[in-house]
Chain A
Amino acid sequence: MIHLVKRPQPSRAWSYATPVLAVLMTMVAGGAMFAALGKDPVEVIRTIFWDPLFGEFAFYFRGQLLVKAAPLILIAVGLSLGFKAGIWNIGAEGQYILGAICGAAVGLAFYPMEARWLIFPLMIIAGALGGWAWAMIPAILKTRFNTNEILVSLLLVYVAEQLLAKMALGALRNPDGAGFPGSRNLSQYASASNPELIAGSGMHWGVVAALIAVIFGYVLFARHMWGFQIRLTGESPRAARFGGVKPTRLVIFCLGVSGALAGLAGLFEVAGPAGQISIDFNVGYGFTAIIVAFLGRLHPVGILLAGLLMALTYIGGEAAASNLGLPSAAIQAFQGMLLFFLLAVDVLTNYSLRFGKGEVA
């Protein structure tokens, strides 16, 4: 029988190795799933993980990589703050939507005035504030009434989706759109657009923001008291309180930052790649970012890499869908599987496996 023995201290080597191991295990299990769907597993895996980077059309896909990775990284860095402290914001999808709505609303309010120096910065602020305000709802309910932030933040996603529908059909609808739902296209409104900064690179302001967030996260955790307090709270809430951490302030800070970053991600998306507020504007980045945060082991640099990998599965998944007829849901299941394997092998960081006769009971 195999049983677990707690290591005297967490293993550094395994904490690096587990994400890699999880990815490999997911490829094997995912390959089996693809085979069960009647596809050649090797070809599917190659289409997803290899072709977008090194294949014939890589020049196109590589740009897409940054476009998809930016919101994932931006949101995941924010989420990692809370996750490290045991504060579970799982409603980033809703904060992402609100950021997009608020940012777009500010941009559209100025239409057709041309003043990029004013409008675009205002939109960025509005986007961040929108996501922040939406995250403040669970934060304040948690600190004032001790309400579970997991449930509140998640339920607010559904509220945000209804709000999005209302905006796309109502207040923000394009008056020149012949009654079709959806707002004006911001990417065609120079003062409010979030364009590609280098043609074909996929680089836009959201990518820049994501990189800044990674650096910010790194400095916070490595060097700053707040980052230390966040880690401390996650390790041991009682020790944190003894160390002078004010739990209320920490909840507000973590939820606020993650909300603002998710809001920013929404704003950059609506002003750039998506272009407009529409009913189906959100595509689940807020949820996939949870996987990214864990896959990156809640470390900013890890999240950067994990975000790129997850973006790859999106792009590769789309390619596999169009070239090989792989159902798009298969990619979603694949991503979910990745999180399972990650959680499963994570045990190796804190425990070692022993083979031999087990204990009683």
Chain B
Amino acid sequence: MSDARAPLLKLKGLTKAYPGVIANSDVSFEIGAGEVHALLGENGAGKSTLVKMIYGLVRPDSGSMAFRGSRYEPATPHAARNAGVAMVFQHFSLFNALDVAENIALGMENPPKQRALAARITEVSEAYGLPLDPSRLVGDLSAGERQRVEIIRCLLQDPKLLIMDEPTSVLTPQEVEILFKTLRQLSAEGTAILYISHKLEEIRSLCDAATILRLGKVVGECDPKATTARDMAEMMVGQTLHVPSRETTKPGDVALKVNDLTLQSASPFGTSLKNVSFEVRKGEVFGIGGVAGNGQDELLAALSGEVETGAGAVQLKGQSVGHLGPNERRAEGLLAAPEERLGHAAAPDMNLTENAMLTGHVRENLTNRGFLNWRAAKGFAEKVIADFDVRTPGPGNAARSLSGGNLQKFVIGREILQRPDVLVVNQPTWGVDASAAADIRQALLDLAANGAAVICISQDLDELMEISDNFAALNEGRLSKPRPAAGLTVDEIGLMMGGAHDMEAAHVA
């Protein structure tokens, strides 16, 4: 069915500029019918803008597209869907308070009546081995199930081209295998897939061709099955990356102990923590893996003190601190850096001096009987900027004006410079460019080498394997038994993360 000579989608010279950034510059490549084509690039390389143009969300400044041999200029996503293009978003385009069938209907051009739609959903979900109950609320689904909703929404439209934006970042390794099976089936049926990722091994096992973007430009094309991951990585990053190094240290005394922590989530669609127990020693990096939405945010809040627990549930250096708020815990040496940089770790519209004050005032003595010492706060902000190579004109700039990587360096640096005894970080390198990510990982390792305990919550398994001494995974609010990271296989990790969620559960008509 696939005809390699006439490409399904042809991009020619696509260019899109935003004030101050050129997101895409003269991007051209082709995708054939039934081809699984990888679009590879770092954060900020312009992958998202490019697929938004193909999906009709953004209009190119110049260049042209052809789809199935004719001119293709989708003005809206509706037009794209009508032409046969479907997309699975990285940050799902789903609605928590609506049920699965309603969510799917919203992504279709001419949805059938609700009852007929529910039957279709069940039918298609079984045909592709993706069980799904049309009447459940999406907010109650796991991340893997939510992705199934998105995929089935696309499949019901019989797409000729399916765009997938970082689909595996929310899946366990077992779920990734199931997804790949589905994608291979689709490809065999003639559906082309544009697969966006920065995970090289996945691309090598799945894709027929790859286009590599860097800073908005196409910097190379390759056959991923015949190219090494290392070569692709160098094309993607444009330089050789240094792998974080660490000196092995002997773990010291127990720095933080979490003892049978159970916590009801405050938000209606959140995950409650159930009987979480672990301990971290001085000099140790403890990695906590797991798919997004399995209790990571709740665990960070319970450790940082944003949510108070029973006093004994969190113990710092043998002392109960579960009943203390964030500032009291800071005073005792327990610091944290949440996942969401803008709006949680930092206030977007406040400048860096004010954001330094945000967490620094306790340990850096930036206040005097409630009165603020702005000069000292500015000095602290400047020190963070200098020590952690934060690229910004100065501490007077608003947090939101910094790039993701620079702000993350500021946030992590702000906590590390306060000499924590225990530092908890959540997704420390999420959405950060490769060189900043490497710097951040190195900083965490250095901190541990100097005797602090580091708890790193992350969804990036490669990252966790690189820096952790011990590893455990969160799954539906429960923490698996911690195990030494060295020697863990992908399969073992996947099972700790919960294996393939709910694959048997949901065969409901």
Contact = CB atoms under 8 A, between A and B. Distances in A.
B146 interface: no
A229 B76 CA distance: 43
Contacts of A360: 56-59, 75-76
A98 to B, nearest CB: 30
Interface stretch (A235-243, A260-268, A329-337): A235-243
Interface in B339-397: 340, 343-351, 354, 357-359, 361-362, 367, 370-372, 397
18 contacts: A9-B397, A223-B371, A224-B371, A231-B350, A232-B350, A232-B358, A235-B348, A238-B340, A238-B344, A239-B345, A242-B345, A244-B305, A244-B325, A244-B330, A244-B362, A246-B325, A360-B76, A361-B57
Contacts of A224: 370-372
Interface in A233-282: 235-236, 238-244, 246
Contacts of A243: 326-327, 358-359
B371 A225 contact: yes
Given A9-B349, A360-B59, A360-B76, 7 more contacts: A228-B354, A236-B347, A240-B347, A242-B344, A244-B305, A360-B57, A361-B77
B126 interface: no
B361 A242 contact: no
For chain B, give the interface size range.
35 or more
A244 B327 contact: yes
The 6 closest A-B pairs by CB, nearest first: A9-B398, A244-B327, A8-B401, A235-B347, A244-B326, A236-B347
A232 B347 contact: yes
Q: Which of A10, A223, A225, A226 has the most CB of B within 10 A?
A: A225
Given A228-B357, A359-B59, A8 B400 contact: yes
B306 interface: yes
B19 interface: yes
A133 to B, nearest CB: 26
Contacts of A246: 325
Contacts of A10: 349, 398
A243 B325 CA distance: 9
Nearest to A244: B327
B363 to A, nearest CB: 12
Given A241-B306, A242-B306, A236 B348 contact: yes
A151 to B, nearest CB: 22
Contacts of B350: 231-232, 235
Contact of A225 (B304, B338, B343, B372): B372
B54 to A, nearest CB: 12
A155 to B, nearest CB: 27
A224 B374 CA distance: 10
Contacts of B58: 359-360
Interface string A208-236: 00000000000000011110100110011
Interface of A: 5, 8-10, 223-226, 228, 231-232, 235-236, 238-244, 246, 354, 359-361
Contacts of A9: 349, 351, 397-398, 400-401
B303 to A, nearest CB: 12
Contacts of B77: 361
A46 B305 CA distance: 59
Given A226-B370, A228-B372, A8 B347 contact: no
B391 to A, nearest CB: 13
A241 to B, nearest CB: 5
Interface in B65-88: 75-77
A225 B344 contact: no
B19 A5 contact: yes
Chain B binding surface, main DSSP class? loop
Interface of B: 19, 56-59, 75-77, 304-306, 325-327, 330, 336, 338, 340, 343-351, 354, 357-359, 361-362, 367, 370-372, 397-398, 400-401
Contact of A239 (B57, B347, B371, B401): B347
A5 B56 CA distance: 20
A236 B359 contact: no
Contacts of A228: 354, 357, 372
A354 B367 CA distance: 42
A84 B305 CA distance: 24
Nearest to A239: B347
A21 B326 CA distance: 43
Contacts of A232: 347, 350, 358
Nearest to A5: B19
Given A10-B398, A242-B338, A242-B345, A225 B306 contact: no
A308 B91 CA distance: 50
A359 B76 CA distance: 10
A238 B345 CA distance: 8
A246 B367 CA distance: 18
B410 to A, nearest CB: 14
Contacts of A225: 361, 367, 370-372
Q: Which of B75, B325, B350 has the most CB of A within 10 A?
A: B350
Nearest to B336: A242
Contacts of A231: 350
Contacts of A239: 343-347, 358
A235 B349 contact: yes
A228 B347 CA distance: 12
Given A223-B371, A360-B59, A236 B325 contact: no
A224 B369 CA distance: 9
Contacts of A226: 370
A186 to B, nearest CB: 38
A354 B371 CA distance: 42
B401 to A, nearest CB: 4
B405 to A, nearest CB: 16
A242 B346 CA distance: 9
A222 to B, nearest CB: 8
Contacts of A235: 347-350
A243 B354 CA distance: 11
Nearest to B306: A241
A240 to B, nearest CB: 8
A214 B327 CA distance: 30
A78 to B, nearest CB: 20
A243 B347 CA distance: 10
Contacts of A244: 305, 325-327, 330, 362
Contacts of B344: 236, 238-239, 242
Contacts of A240: 347
Nearest to B399: A9
Q: Which of A228, A231, A246, A359 has the most CB of B within 10 A?
A: A228
A246 B306 CA distance: 9
A246 B307 CA distance: 11
Contact of A242 (B57, B358, B367, B397): B358
B372 A223 contact: yes
A73 B243 CA distance: 61
A238 B336 CA distance: 14
B471 to A, nearest CB: 26
Nearest to B79: A360
A10 B348 CA distance: 10
